[in-house]
Amino acid sequence: MRTYDFSPLYRSAVGFDRLAGLLESAARTSQDAGWPPYNIETTGENAYRIEIAVAGFKADELSIEVKENLLTVSGKKAANDDTTQRTYLHRGLAERDFERRFQLADYVVVTEADLSNGLLTIALKRELPEALKPRRIEIGVGQPALIEGQAA
């Protein structure tokens, strides 16, 4: 029997487990070659956190945008204005531009973002509207309700 590893499908989906959305999202993000690396974690029943390793980027070189349930994080490295010529023996820090996309479930909103020690942390929360939340209906005991037009 053959087993399939679906974990790559879950890398860019936050807050839902619908297969069609996962397949679409995986197809859209498969070309980004895995850079920059990131983590997605759940921090509560309706709370999530995305951490993206953006070493070398400043806050003004990063942008976060949410449009139609698609979270887009991009980094555009400013031109290096060093007047001295630098000679590298090894250059391992990537200074290339990037764009990461994450498909969000309905009612998942970005609550905050923070850049600290080379990690961009984005907090997300699922906020269901009151109309969609389950509610308890009390059952009355006693007199039946009168239907309009009937005599008591």
Residue 114 sits at the vertex; the CA angle it makes with 18 and 130, to the nearest 5 degrees, is: 45
- Which residues are registered as beta bridge partners of 64? 73
**Per-residue confidence at 139, pLDDT binned at 50, 70, 90?**
confident
Q: Are 25 and 97 in contact (CB under 8 A)?
A: no
The one-letter amino acid at 117: N
Q: Could you tell me the strand order of the sheet in which 98-104 lies? A: 13-14, 98-104, 70-75, 62-67
Please indicate, yes or no, if residue 152 is contained in any of the structural domains. no
Please indicate, yes or no, if residue 142 is contained in any of the structural domains. no
- What is the structure's pLDDT at 137? 84
CA distance 94 to 33: 13
Tokens of 146: 């009168």
Q: Which domain holds residue 37?
A: 7-80+91-129
- Which residues are registered as beta bridge partners of 119? 53, 116
CATH number of the domain residue 96 falls in: 2.60.40.790
Q: Is the overall model pTM greater than 0.85, yes or no? A: no
Q: What is the pLDDT of residues 15-64, one digit of tens each?
A: 655 544 554 555 555 445 678 999 999 999 889 999 999 988 999 999 99
CA distance 61 to 127: 29
Question: Among 48, 25, 50, 47, which Cα is nearest to 37's?
Answer: 50
Please indicate, yes or no, if residue 135 is contained in any of the structural domains. no
Please indicate, yes or no, if residue 137 is contained in any of the structural domains. no
Per the structure, the count of domains in the chain is: 1
